[in-house]
Amino acid sequence: MYVIKLFIFLQFLYVYSYGIQFDYIKLENIDKNNALLKVEKKNKLYEYVIEYKLEKNGYLNDNKLNTNFYDTNFYDLNNEDKQSVTFANSLYINDNIWLDLNFNYEDSLKKSIDNSIGLFSENKIYKQQSLAKLYFKHNSIMTSKLSFESINSNSNINIDTNGYRNLILKDKNKVSFDTKLGFDSIDVYTKIYQINDNYNKFYKDIDSDYIKNKNNISRGIELTFEKDFFESYLISSTLFRENNYYDYIYRKSDSNKKEKIDSESQGIKISIIKSFYDNLKLAMLAIISHNKIKNSNRKDLIGNKLKDKAEKQLNMNLEYKIKKIKLFSRLTHMSSRYANENNSKKLDVYTIASIGSSYYTKVKDKDIKFNFDIKNIFNKKYFIDSDTHGESRSYFFNMIMKF
The DSSP element (H or E) to which 15 belongs, if any, is helix 2-16
pLDDT of residue 383: 81
Are 303 and 291 in contact by the 8 Å Cβ rule? The answer is no
Predicted confidence (pLDDT) at residue 7 exceeds the cutoff of 80: no
| pLDDT, tens digit, 9 for 90 and up, residues 287-311 | 999 999 999 998 999 999 998 899 9
Whole-number average pLDDT of the chain: 82
Average pLDDT over residues 79-99: 85
Predicted confidence (pLDDT) at residue 1 exceeds the cutoff of 60: no
Average pLDDT over residues 248-266: 87
Burial of 298 (0-12, 13-18, 19+ CB in 10 A): middle
What gap in Å lies between CA 47 and CA 22, rounded to an integer? 10
pLDDT of residue 347: 87
Average pLDDT over residues 5-10: 50
Are 279 and 264 in contact by the 8 Å Cβ rule? The answer is no
Predicted confidence (pLDDT) at residue 275 exceeds the cutoff of 50: yes
| This model's pTM is above 0.75 | yes
Please tell me which residue, 112 or 163, carries the higher pLDDT value. 112
What gap in Å lies between CA 108 and CA 80, rounded to an integer? 7
pLDDT of residue 386: 73
| pLDDT, tens digit, 9 for 90 and up, residues 320-357 | 998 889 999 999 999 999 988 889 988 889 999 999 99
What gap in Å lies between CA 57 and CA 78, rounded to an integer? 8
pLDDT of residue 166: 80
Q: Give the model's confidence band at 69: pLDDT under 50 very low, under 70 low, under 90 confident, else very high.
A: very low
Residues with Cβ within 8 Å of residue 340, at least 6 apart in sequence: 307, 386
pLDDT of residue 71: 37
Average pLDDT over residues 235-239: 96
pLDDT of residue 279: 87
| pLDDT, tens digit, 9 for 90 and up, residues 355-367 | 999 998 888 777 8
Q: Give the model's confidence band at 137: pLDDT under 50 very low, under 70 low, under 90 confident, else very high.
A: very high
Q: Give the model's confidence band at 74: pLDDT under 50 very low, under 70 low, under 90 confident, else very high.
A: very low
Please tell me which residue, 272 or 165, carries the higher pLDDT value. 272
CA angle at 386 for the pair 356 and 269, rounded to the nearest 5°: 60
pLDDT of residue 50: 79
- pLDDT above 90 covers a percentage of the chain that reads 41
- pLDDT above 70 covers a percentage of the chain that reads 82
What gap in Å lies between CA 247 and CA 261, rounded to an integer? 7
